[in-house]
Chain A
Amino acid sequence: MAHSSQTCFGVLVINKAGGLIYHKNYAEGLAQLSSNDYLILASTFHSIHAIASRISPVPGSSGVEVIEAETFKMTCLQTPTGTKFVLLTTPSHPHPDQVLRKVYETYADHLKDPFYTAEMPIRSEAFDVKMATVVRGA
């Protein structure tokens, strides 16, 4: 696994009910999860996020923002409506929040599609392409 310091491993988009509406891997050589595992991962993270914002010693906490591990960093951006964008990167990634902002923008553009229902899983090739260019940092 030869990753540069800026590699983004993957993106998850979680709706406000904790359902996974989009996920994609962008790096080679990752352990593969079944789609059911991804759903569990998303709803677990959603719960942890909710619990974290409750038990935080500081009042008005927004929840989990970053989880850092030895081999990866998990950055979360929560929108005012409760949609969460989760980005998995290398620990040394310099600006995951900027990538997430672009991801948010791409998602917001997709909401303007009249044939897409909000909060539902996104199955669109055009969205895949746009998302890949954003995450790979074109």
Chain B
Amino acid sequence: MTNRDSLTPSVRDSISSTSRFSSLLSPTSTPSTTTTPRSSSSTFPIPQPSPSLPPLPPNLKRTSIIYDRPLPKARGTEVALGAWAFLFSEIIQYTQKRVSGIGEFEKRLNILGYRVGSRLLELLPLRDYLYPISSLRSPPPPTRTLRLLPILSYVHSTLYRYLFGRPADSLERSTDNEDEYMIGDDDMVVTRGVEVPKEMSELSCGALVAGIVEAVMDGAGFPARVTAHSVPSVPHPRRTVILIKLDPEVLAREAALGGK
């Protein structure tokens, strides 16, 4: 994984910062592993590890701790498209003020998506295992996907259906480069409210979804560069293609696993 380009370390860095959540999960554990701060000798004093949440007055109940909520969600729980359009619009405007080019713009959206995808990769199989759709069926424990095609079809169908309520419209392999796969989406839901101006026509706001896919591929052990491209056609003027460019090591492993 050393031959990855500069995008991945920054993504990894931003992901690794989530490890602080472990202290939230077990707030009673003693902070034995953390080094004691010595603010007198350090230029930047390290703050004392505080308890994760401040105490509340006794007559108030905390209702919004995310860890207290039940893991299963009611099937069909959806977010209104209008609400999403406003949020995504703000994300785009916020990002646009802080970037200097379209490449950086897409990278930032990609990083945002990466943070979503790395969580989904854990959450979806666990949720399906603990709370299967049919209560009669006892599902097998979640297994690790070893081969490329199953993980691609997992992204194309299961992940896509969870995110957008329907599978993606196509899953293709590039005819020119054998390390490139494409997931086509004729009308991407997340960018439905966005109309990219002509002078920024290379920009595809689907970079957010590309980031989600990249996190899932990376996390499942299929490191890849994932990018989104607008490919308008006459029947589908808002068609977006998610291009997955796999690392050489993945292809080498596929070849080694061979016809098993």
Chain A residues at the B interface, C-beta cutoff of 8 Å:
109, 112-116, 124, 126
Contacts and interface: CB of A to CB of B under 8 A. Distances in A.
B8 interface: no
B131 interface: no
Nearest to B87: A112
A112 B85 CA distance: 6
A109 B200 CA distance: 21
A113 B82 CA distance: 11
Contacts of B92: 114-115
A85 B85 CA distance: 23
Given A114-B89, A114-B92, A114-B96, A109 B194 contact: no
7 contacts: A112-B86, A113-B193, A115-B195, A115-B196, A115-B197, A124-B195, A126-B195
Interface string B83-99: 00110111111001000
**Pairs of residues from A and B, 3 with the lowest C-beta to C-beta distance, nearest first:** A114-B92, A112-B85, A114-B89
Contacts of A126: 195
A114 B82 contact: no
Which of A112, A113, A116, A124 neighbours the largest number of chain B CB atoms within 10 Å of its CB?
Answer: A112
Contacts of B196: 115
Interface residues of B, number: 16
Contacts, number: 30
Given A109-B85, A112-B193, A115-B92, 12 more contacts: A109-B82, A112-B82, A112-B86, A113-B195, A114-B88, A114-B89, A114-B96, A114-B194, A115-B194, A115-B195, A115-B196, A115-B200
Which of B91, B96, B193, B200 neighbours the largest number of chain A CB atoms within 10 Å of its CB?
Answer: B193
Nearest to A116: B195
A124 B194 CA distance: 11
Contacts of B195: 113, 115-116, 124, 126
Contacts of A112: 82, 85-86, 89, 193
Nearest to A108: B82
B72 to A, nearest CB: 31
A113 B193 CA distance: 5
Contacts of B91: 114
Contacts of B93: 114
A109 B86 CA distance: 10
A126 B86 CA distance: 18
B143 to A, nearest CB: 41
A113 B197 CA distance: 10
Which of A109, A113, A114, A116 neighbours the largest number of chain B CB atoms within 10 Å of its CB?
Answer: A114
A112 B92 CA distance: 11
Nearest to A115: B197
A126 B237 CA distance: 10
A94 to B, nearest CB: 29
A16 B197 CA distance: 25
Contacts of A109: 82, 85, 193
Nearest to B90: A114
Which of B86, B89, B91 neighbours the largest number of chain A CB atoms within 10 Å of its CB?
Answer: B89
